[in-house]
Amino acid sequence: MSRTVLLIEDNEQNRYLVSYLLEQEGHTVVMAENGSQGIEEALRILPDLILLDIQLPRMDGYAVARAIRELEPLRSVPIVAVTSYALTGDREKSLEAGCNGYLEKPINPETFVAEIERFFS
């Protein structure tokens, strides 16, 4: 089943890889390069899933997740942090900010799609 995924990621190579993997499985990917653009796109498209980098310019992913959780039309949309932040407590910090899941970068291209598909509601 095709789903719409919003990818909020500032790194062009990461955007390319993630969108390629998801599109190969039939999903539609909409991209945003920063947090404020990501929030606007989320409200515009009401995605099935949001993939969120934590280390973003201007507004970090934690703030983006908290802002999205305050918007009624987006409260139930799953958010998965996809980040290179992998220190003790980073997963918990992502979940406390409103993310439903947490995946560490670098992603594994062989398992990535299956890992995020479990978050589709």
Task: Give the pLDDT score at 46.
Answer: 98
Task: Give the pLDDT score at 89.
Answer: 83
Number of domains in the chain: 1
Residue 104 forms part of a structural domain = yes
pLDDT tens, position by position, 17-39: 999 999 999 999 999 999 999 99
Residue 61 forms part of a structural domain = yes
Closest residue by Cα to residue 5 from 115, 111, 85, 106: 115
Residue 121 forms part of a structural domain = no
Task: Give the pLDDT score at 121.
Answer: 64
d(C-alpha 72, C-alpha 34), whole Å: 21
Residue 38, judged by CB atoms within 10 A of its CB (0-12, 13-18, 19+), counts as buried
Residue 117 forms part of a structural domain = no
pLDDT tens, position by position, 85-116: 676 788 999 999 999 999 999 999 999 999 99
Residue 35 forms part of a structural domain = yes
Residue 114 forms part of a structural domain = no
CATH of the domain at 96: 3.40.50.2300
How many CA atoms are closer than 13 Å to the CA of 61, on its beta-carbon side?
Answer: 30
Residue 64 forms part of a structural domain = yes
Domain of residue 87: give its range: 4-108
d(C-alpha 83, C-alpha 95), whole Å: 13
